[in-house]
Structure 1
Amino acid sequence: MHYFSSDFKLGILGGGQLGKMLLYTTRRWDIQTFVLDPSSEAPSRFACNHFVQGDLKDFETVYQFGKKVDVLTIEIEHVNVEALKKLKSEGVKVYPEPEALEIIGNKCLQKSHYANHKIATAPFQNFESTADAKKVTTNFPCVWKSATGGYDGKGVKILKSIEDFSELPNVPCLIEELIDFEKELAVIVASSASGEQKSYPVVGMDFHPEANQVEFVVCPANI
């Protein structure tokens, strides 16, 4: 039995809680939803029309999933960007653009993008490995960030001495100057395909002082 009056298909890479929130909105419209997630217990599994269990970083898995839909979006940025580029070249609408995701998913590329476009950011240096960073880092405290795989404070470590390097994985990374700040704020700005833009309320974020992972997101921010 066909439950939809149109054949529009939306694909979502990632089936976590953010994907589930997105699906609450798609239910109001005439949209078939497809979700890809590695976990059989993903929160979005029972909120979408079609669920596929698979690796978000595997080229063939993402590519074959994307061929089933008209528009493909993400719930988490840690996905196979090369597959998205190929899908885009074949006519699948991919948002955000794969080229933007490539920067978003790599902190070293992010920081270089800021510097190249004269966007204010803390002084930093990119490294091919943590071992390389350890050889030349002399100013403490400082901040170590893994190039990929981090989110919500994961992949970030404040280094107070050279000994703290022993706790870190040997991966591509950057070392950043520790900045004294009062609040950490974030704002989402969305842009449509037609160029329309909209900004959403500023939120404040509180992080655990030791784990350095976000504990609370406060909206509206206390500013």
Structure 2
Amino acid sequence: MKAFYGDLRTGILGGGQLGRMLIQEAINFNVSVDILDPDPNAPCKDLCNRFVQGSLTDFSTVYNFGKNLDLITIEIEKVNVDALQKLEDEGVLVYPQPRVIRLIQDKGLQKEFFKQNDIPTSPFRLFSSRRHLEAAGVPFPYIQKLRRDGYDGRGVYKVSTAADLKQAFDAPSLVEDWIEFDKEIAVIVARNSKDEIKTFPTVEMEFNPEANLVEFLISPSSLPREVTDRAEALAVKIASDLKITGLLAVEMFLTNDGTILVNELAPRPHNSGHHSIEGNRTSQFAQHLRAIFGLPLGDTACIGNAIMVNLLGEQGFEGLAEYEGLDKILKLDGIYVHLYGKKFTKPFRKMGHVTVIDDDRDNAISKARLIQDTVKVKI
């Protein structure tokens, strides 16, 4: 590989907030980044070395974007894997590897991978259509998930009654038993090409009940060490079994009886790791770059209590974004605001996040709750 700090031609598929924060970290490594994104106003547009507007799922667009690069990574899984595979075959480094992206693009294949590798997960069945699902007579309640293209809460549907079943997805999907869980937790793990693996400390997450996406995160978790050790060991096992190069977010359920079940994987920086920019000795973005550049992985220890609040577009507002209440929260100590450069807001769109750092955990949580109540993204 070329030296990472000057002449390594690097590209990212996707120009959203994850790409933006990767570029901000790449600048510290003296690395210039090219971006491919379909949005002409993508958050990365004015920060990258070269911006190409185009489809992430079109073979020719992805192949032509990458053929003169040395290394490509992703900030979203919905990309053309066949093009990435051809680029890899021709000598371009693609991390995470196309085979990993292909597996994770399909939630059914993810579940089969868990089963084949003895990774605990909720019981599941695969269905080709709504008619197939109706004929199976699966006992209510259960969760239906589209096998492909679901993200940020989309593509997930709870089926509690026969009436709900009539509105179920009519596409290839998986059905999971309804699980009573105590907490949703996550572990981010990194693996480099030298098989060095490190995890970030386990975090606890709260999800917006309407949008089904992360709204509030606490790091480090207050769970017993025995529980977090098991969660982090699971993340290491998955990264090792996948032989992934790069970052992997592992979302899990902690059930009422203390069982840990793996829910889903994301082979990239993730919302459950944004707090690490200020809250850990190495951020998830720096760790991802270290992993794909073949560098030693960084220290992931927590610096202090970190609480992350997502800034989501308010319901009933769609248009040019305004951030109500920012001036009020910036008067507080230990507040770090990250706005994503998105010109337009819409309901539940991720527009930014705020991280609170405080030596006192209760104080940190109180400040974060105040931020939740105070900052509103409107028009």
Q: Please give the range of the TM-score, normalised by the shorter of the 2 chains.
A: over 0.9
Alpha-carbon spacing, 1:29–1:212, altered in 2? closer, same or farther (3 Å): closer
| Distance in structure 2 (CA, Å) of the matches to 1:222 and 1:20 | 31
Alpha-carbon spacing, 1:55–1:94, altered in 2? closer, same or farther (3 Å): same
Quote the offset at 1:130 in angstroms: 2.9
| Distance in structure 1 (CA, Å) of the matches to 2:193 and 2:39 | 31
Quote the offset at 1:201 in angstroms: 2.5
Secondary structure, counterpart of 2:41 in structure 1: coil
Q: Which residue of 1 aligns with 2:98?
A: 98
- Cα-to-partner distance string for 1:73-117 (whole Å, 9 max, x where unaligned): 000111111111111110000000111111111100000111111
| Distance in structure 2 (CA, Å) of the matches to 1:168 and 1:59 | 31
Secondary structure, counterpart of 2:108 in structure 1: helix
Q: Which residue of 2 aligns with 1:35?
A: 35
Query: In structure 1, what residue type is equivalent to 2:74?
Result: I
Query: In structure 2, what residue type is equivalent to 1:191?
Result: R
Whether the aligned pair in 2 keeps the contact of 1:13 and 1:73 (CA below 8 Å) is yes
Q: Which residue of 2 aligns with 1:126?
A: 126
Q: Which residue of 2 aligns with 1:83?
A: 83
Quote the offset at 1:170 in angstroms: 1.5
Secondary structure, counterpart of 2:182 in structure 1: coil
Which deviates more from structure 2 when the two are superposed, residues 43-52 or residues 158-167?
A: 158-167
- Moved >2 Å (runs of 4+): 165-169, 208-223
Q: Which residue of 1 aligns with 2:138?
A: 138
Q: Which residue of 1 aligns with 2:44?
A: 44
Q: Which residue of 2 aligns with 1:195?
A: 195
Whether the aligned pair in 2 keeps the contact of 1:153 and 1:214 (CA below 8 Å) is no
Alpha-carbon spacing, 1:41–1:167, altered in 2? closer, same or farther (3 Å): farther
Q: Which residue of 1 aligns with 2:307?
A: none
Gaps of 5+ in 2: 224-379
Alpha-carbon spacing, 1:41–1:165, altered in 2? closer, same or farther (3 Å): farther
Query: In structure 1, what residue type is equivalent to 2:89?
Result: S
| Distance in structure 1 (CA, Å) of the matches to 2:93 and 2:45 | 23
Query: In structure 1, what residue type is equivalent to 2:72?
Result: L
Secondary structure, counterpart of 2:84 in structure 1: helix
Alpha-carbon spacing, 1:199–1:131, altered in 2? closer, same or farther (3 Å): same
Gaps of 5+ in 1: none
- Cα-to-partner distance string for 1:133-164 (whole Å, 9 max, x where unaligned): 22213311100000011123221111111221
- How many residue pairs end up in the alignment? 219
- Cα-to-partner distance string for 1:180-199 (whole Å, 9 max, x where unaligned): 11111111111111211121
Whether the aligned pair in 1 keeps the contact of 2:40 and 2:53 (CA below 8 Å) is yes
Whether the aligned pair in 2 keeps the contact of 1:114 and 1:120 (CA below 8 Å) is yes
- Cα-to-partner distance string for 1:14-55 (whole Å, 9 max, x where unaligned): 111111111111111232210111111111111111111111
Q: CA RMSD in A?
A: 1.6
Q: Which residue of 2 aligns with 1:56?
A: 56
Which deviates more from structure 2 when the two are superposed, residues 203-212 or residues 63-72?
A: 203-212
Q: Which residue of 2 aligns with 1:7?
A: 7
Whether the aligned pair in 1 keeps the contact of 2:152 and 2:211 (CA below 8 Å) is no
Instruction: Report the TM-score, using the length of structure 2 for normalisation.
Output: 0.55
Query: In structure 2, what residue type is equivalent to 1:36?
Result: L
| Distance in structure 2 (CA, Å) of the matches to 1:220 and 1:203 | 5
Query: In structure 2, what residue type is equivalent to 1:105?
Result: Q
Q: Which residue of 2 aligns with 1:150?
A: 150
| Distance in structure 1 (CA, Å) of the matches to 2:145 and 2:66 | 31
